[in-house]
Amino acid sequence: MGATALRNGPSPVPAPIDSIVEVRGISKTYGNVEALRGIDLDFPRGKLTSLLGPSGCGKTTLLKIIAGLTRADGGTVAINGKRVSAPGPERAFVFQDFALMPWATVTRNVAFGLELRGTNKAEREETAHRYIAEVGLAGFEDKYPHELSGGMRQRVGLARALSVDADVLLLDEPFSAVDEQNRRKFQEDLIRLRTNQNKTFIFVTHSIEEAVYISDRIVLLSPRPGRVSQIIEPEIDRSGDPERIHRDRHYLDTVEEIWQGLKQYVE
């Protein structure tokens, strides 16, 4: 177990000192399928928290409820202490299928959140260009999405979420439609980006390796009904070469530990 802090059981975890997102008693039912039951969670400010679990555990549903895109049947979500039930300026979403407008250039796609807010053109394009460079797409400002690879398209999606300057970034399996090589590179960039940007990330993934690699905190969800089964805080030093993490002992141990925990849910 070593440096890995591990808390068991579905009971609510004592709230960290500064949590930006508080989820209380969230439940959701689709028809007669119970997707989520009594979810209590706190997301600490400035950290990257992953929601991890097998398919059908309701992790994307939970993320969309936090985003205000899906209505919960019961329970509350509070951001910075304020209850929310619709999308708001303090949250920005990165979509699994990128959701880029094919008729708009990279710049316009990235600036779209600001365009909707009525920011003037010069200002929003300047902001967009800054974040396009930040995600490593400098030189592609005037390209259209179909001219980019999957990995690059998701960088556009990430830049769009960053450019509205939200406190919380919600990422819904952002790398699932990206090929393996680009995913690795993107994960490394995300670690770097996280140290530069003082933001809270909530990240949905079904990849154990990915979750352990990038997360400060991993929330394991069990399926049918979706419940919090475990919260893990891998204490991995990410300051050095990101390549090294893949060979780090704690990294490998944590991956193994989570796999042992999840095995029972896989047929």
Rule CB under 8 A: which residues touch another protein?
67-69, 87-89, 91-93, 95, 97, 99, 101-104, 112-113, 115-117, 136-137, 139-140, 143-152, 160, 164, 179, 181-182
Q: Nearest-CA neighbor of 66 among 170, 165, 163? A: 170
Q: Annotate 143-175 with DSSP letters as a single string.
A: --GGGS-HHHHHHHHHHHHHHTT-SEEEEESTT
- Of 25, 3, 63, nearest to 219 by C-alpha is 63
The least distance separating another protein from the CB of residue 243, rounded to whole angstroms, comes to 18
In the complex with another protein, which residue's Cβ is closer, 91 or 199?
Answer: 91
Query: Smaller CB distance to another protein: residue 9 or 139?
Result: 139
Which residue in the block uniquely carries the two structure tokens 């989570």? 258
Count helices and strands (H / E) in the chain.
9, 11
How near is the Cβ of 41 to another protein at its closest, in Å? 20
C-beta of 108 vs 217, nearer to another protein: 108
Nearer to another protein, 15 or 116 (CB): 116
**Minimum CB distance to another protein, residue 99 (Å):** 4
User: What span, in angstroms and rounded, lies between the C-alpha atoms of 8 and 236?
Assistant: 20
CB of 146 to another protein, least distance (A): 5
Which residue, 112 or 251, has its beta carbon nearer to another protein? 112
Q: Dmax of the chain from CA atoms?
A: 54
**Smallest distance, another protein to C-beta of residue 169, A:** 12
